[in-house]
């Protein structure tokens, strides 16, 4: 007997990991840009802030990259899990590849954001 709830639970879990990865990437962006904000806010103490701005830039970039890695690992884990399910538990879907495309494109956007943070 077919039980699609198992598959949909796996989908929800994977999407929760994607949401967590996006949160890490957003936090990394905020951390990286907050150092720049502090530099612009205190022009008199700019020398001290500029010497420590690389720390917030590096931490922000690491958070963005870790968010992208979390999403890619979640996608990989999801694919492995779905392969173990019996065929009757996997519901016929119009676009079965859509979940993969979504998670990989979000992870690539995160990696592009990390590259952008390195450049500026």
Question: What are 77-92's pLDDT values in tens digits?
Answer: 999 999 999 988 888 8
CA distance 99 to 75: 8
Domain hosting residue 16, numbered range: 5-119
State how far the Cα of 57 lies from the Cα of 106, in Å rounded to an integer.
Answer: 21
Other CB atoms within 10 A of residue 45 CB? 11
pLDDT on residue 55: 81
pTM for this structure? Answer: 0.84
Residue 39 has pLDDT above 70, yes or no: no
In the chain, the number of structural domains is 1
Tens of pLDDT, residues 19-30:
999 999 999 999
Residue 63: partners with Cβ closer than 8 Å, 6 or more residues away? 24, 25, 27, 28, 31
């Amino acid at each position: 007997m077919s039980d699609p709830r198992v598959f949909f639970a796996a989908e929800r879990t994977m999407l929760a990991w994607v949401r967590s990865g996006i949160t890490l990437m957003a936090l990394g962006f905020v951390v990286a840009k907050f150092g720049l904000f502090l530099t612009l806010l205190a022009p008199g103490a700019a020398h001290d802030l500029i010497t420590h701005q690389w720390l917030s830039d590096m931490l922000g970039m690491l958070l963005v990259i870790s968010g992208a890695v979390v999403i890619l690992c979640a996608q990989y884990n999801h694919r492995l899990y779905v392969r173990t399910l019996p065929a009757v538990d996997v519901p016929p879907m119009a676009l079965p590849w859509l979940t993969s495309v979504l998670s990989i494109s979000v992870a690539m956007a995160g990696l592009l954001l990390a590259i952008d943070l390195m450049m500026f």
